Amino acid sequence: MSERPAGRIVPPEALTGPAAGAVVAALAADGAEVRFVGGCVRDALLGRDVEDVDIATPDRPDAVLALLERAGIKGAPTGLAHGTVTAVADGRPFQVTTLRIDVETDGRHAEVAFTDSFEADAARRDFTINAMSLDPSGDLFDYVGGRADLDAGRVRFVGDAGARIAEDYLRVLRYFRFLARYGRGLPEPSAVEACRDAAGKLGRLSAERIQTEMLKTLGAPNPAPAVELMRETGVLRAVLPEAGPSDVLLALVGIDDRDPLRRLAALAPSGGRALAARLKLPNAMAERLAALSPPLLKPPSSLSSSARRRMLYDLGVSLFRDLVLLAWAADRDGAAPRWRAMLDEAHRWERPELPVRGGDVLAAGVTEGPDVGRLLAEIENWWRERDFLPDRRACLDRLSDLAP
């Protein structure tokens, strides 16, 4: 290899284990030089968990598919237009992308051309910390100073911020996402100004892309400074006009709650179903966001233990937890131990099961039909009001009192 690496590291197991090893071996079988690229290299350098593994190769996608097939590895053409094939080894996905350069961009879509230069491929990536590549043996290639930026907590565009943003406005949101996750100290004024200048253009972005970036930003350990900078530059208003003040979000961060959707509910408390629809959230997340918006159930920390159990029964553990955490975050002078105890109790709680069923109602002489459900509901309510204590015997007695 003629190129000189910038350094050497010991790649983590996610990049050297049997699955990654098999994919790399398959792709290199024709002599191609393949490297890990992007986020997995960045996170490997930081010693953080590597989740998605991206691999780059000079081979074209059809050759990649053939090489995988020859090695008995499943390959799916997930993004052929962009040169991406997903290889699945040991049930784990690996994105294999042909080295590329962007030839034409209009702020939303890029027309790509393939290349065999890792350096050219690095130049079209968004931030220096995302533009490094790593040879499977541990040689690190860093054409744009990504490692120094990573060490310093600098999120820096590859090239001129304004020009790179004009190619793809999503990069504004990605800037804040990576700032939240990897930034330290003051952000670069030129990058911030370029984001501010582009705020008016963000309306063009698709809901799905806004959703992904917003949730990833909110999922950072402490997204609050990045969110405040988004607000200050007009970016937040452009992509999340539903956003209110940040105090509840700040409090949630303070109690170390990392759930991005809960954080979204804290930042945009009135968003609810309309926000979920606008961001095209998947159904389960949309339902959850709707349940976390007005009229919001606010469990007080002073709730009696039997009322807590009833609430858990009615809402289920996960919605109960959501509501407790939001109420805690909104509780300015709340006593943390009480809130914490509520969460611990929810964690330990086992859902009690009504000790009688439809069959028992029929056996009591009720004819099949809506009466069965109505009677069962009545008994369930009675049992619930008694803190779920009545046993089967007591419930059957109650049933014979109620049955006509």
Using CB under 6 A as the criterion, which residues of the chain lie in contact with ligand ATP when the complex forms? 38-39, 52, 54, 125-126, 130-131, 168, 170-171, 174, 216
Residue from 3, 30, 52, 160 touching Mg ion (CB under 5 A): that is: 52
Q: Is 168 helix (H, G, I), strand (E, B) or coil?
A: strand
Segment interacting with Mg ion (CB under 5 A) among 44-52, 85-93, 209-217, 315-323:
44-52
Cα gap 150→182, rounded to integer Å: 7
Nearer to ligand ATP, 125 or 147 (CB): 125
Segment interacting with Mg ion (CB under 5 A) among 36-44, 230-238, 254-262, 307-315:
36-44
Of 74, 72, 73, 75, nearest to 61 by C-alpha is 75
Distance of CA 246 to the CA centre of its chain: 20
Strand partners, 127: 157
Cα gap 240→214, rounded to integer Å: 9
Does 53 sit near Mg ion (CB under 5 A)?
no
Residue from 11, 39, 146, 223 touching Mg ion (CB under 5 A): that is: 39
Q: Are 175 and 115 in contact (CB under 8 A)?
A: no
**Helix residue spans in 199-316 (DSSP H):** 207-218, 224-232, 235-239, 247-254, 260-267, 272-278, 283-291, 305-315
For residue 357, the minimal CB distance to Mg ion (Å) is 48
For residue 164, the minimal CB distance to ligand ATP (Å) is 8
Nearer to Mg ion, 211 or 293 (CB): 211
Of 265, 270, 271, 235, nearest to 252 by C-alpha is 265
Cα gap 381→361, rounded to integer Å: 15
Nearer to ligand ATP, 139 or 168 (CB): 168
Give residues with Cβ within 8 angstroms of 313, minimum separation 6: 351, 352, 384, 388
The one of ligand ATP, Mg ion, none whose footprint includes residue 288, by CB under 5 to 8 A per kind, is none
Q: Is 292 helix (H, G, I), strand (E, B) or coil?
A: coil
For residue 54, the minimal CB distance to Mg ion (Å) is 6
Element housing 399 (H / E): helix 392-402
Nearer to Mg ion, 39 or 75 (CB): 39
For residue 399, the minimal CB distance to ligand ATP (Å) is 55
Cα gap 161→184, rounded to integer Å: 19
For residue 7, the minimal CB distance to ligand ATP (Å) is 19
Site size with Mg ion, rule: CB under 5 A: 2
- For residue 170, the one-letter residue type is L
Of 177, 127, 131, nearest to 156 by C-alpha is 127
Nearer to ligand ATP, 131 or 323 (CB): 131
Nearer to ligand ATP, 101 or 396 (CB): 101
Nearer to Mg ion, 40 or 315 (CB): 40
Which residue number places its CB atom closest to ligand ATP?
39
For residue 171, the minimal CB distance to ligand ATP (Å) is 5
For residue 176, the minimal CB distance to ligand ATP (Å) is 13
For residue 148, the minimal CB distance to ligand ATP (Å) is 17
Nearer to ligand ATP, 52 or 378 (CB): 52
Give the footprint of Mg ion on this chain (CB under 5 A): 39, 52
